[in-house]
């Protein structure tokens, strides 16, 4: 099965809990740059990093490699106005900041909440971050970011930027 199809089958929940696309796709060594590059919709280089995009109807997946071919990070970015259109991708994943807060209260999700300027960020045990942009409980999901730093470093970074609920 091709890379783009496999990425498209990853649900938001499995991605957020696993910590990376590679873990969801059972790629072991995270896959090669050549495999991903062959199917990317777009790519660009910034310094020593190469970012590839995979476009789907309501979201885009970004995968970043170093220019020497080492898999570095990934993220899913969503078009908030289209989120309700694709229920299979999100299934029971919290689409708003309020829904995430409710799921944490019910015990179905474990996360630390950080309030940034116009954004609420939840840090998951996997080290992933879930981003909701806007004010209040209705702020829509805009991004699930893969692990870039270990949990403690990400927590410390977010704590510096925010106030914790």
Rounded average pLDDT over 91-101: 90
pLDDT at 20: 87
The answer on pLDDT for 101 being more than 90 is: yes
The answer on pLDDT for 97 being more than 60 is: yes
Distance CA 157, CA 85 (A): 34
For residue 146, give the nearest of 58, 35, 71 by alpha carbon. 71
**Global pTM value:** 0.87
Q: Tell me how many domains the chain contains.
A: 1
pLDDT at 91: 75
Q: What stretches of 25-100 adopt beta strand conformation (E)?
A: 42-46, 49-55, 59-66, 71-78
pLDDT at 135: 83
Rounded average pLDDT over 116-122: 92
The answer on pLDDT for 163 being more than 90 is: no
Span 53-62, pLDDT tens digits: 999 988 899 9
Domain that residue 105 falls in = 3-164
The answer to whether the CB of 14 falls within 8 A of the CB of 24 is yes
């Amino acid at each position: 099965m091709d890379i783009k199809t496999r990425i498209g089958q990853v649900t938001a929940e499995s991605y957020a809990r696993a910590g990376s696309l590679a873990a969801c796709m059972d790629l072991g060594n995270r896959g090669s740059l050549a495999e991903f590059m062959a199917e990317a919709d777009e790519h660009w280089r910034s310094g020593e990093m190469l970012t590839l995009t995979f476009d789907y109807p309501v979201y885009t997946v970004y995968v970043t490699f170093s220019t020497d071919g080492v898999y570095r990070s990934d993220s899913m970015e969503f078009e908030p106005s289209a989120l309700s259109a694709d229920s299979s991708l999100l299934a029971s994943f919290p689409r708003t900041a309020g829904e995430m807060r409710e799921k944490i209260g019910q015990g179905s999700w474990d996360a630390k909440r950080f309030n940034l300027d116009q954004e609420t960020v939840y840090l998951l045990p996997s080290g992933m971050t879930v981003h909701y942009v806007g004010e209040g409980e209705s702020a829509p999901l805009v991004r699930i970011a893969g692990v870039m730093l270990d949990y403690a470093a990400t927590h410390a970074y977010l704590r510096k930027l925010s106030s914790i609920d």
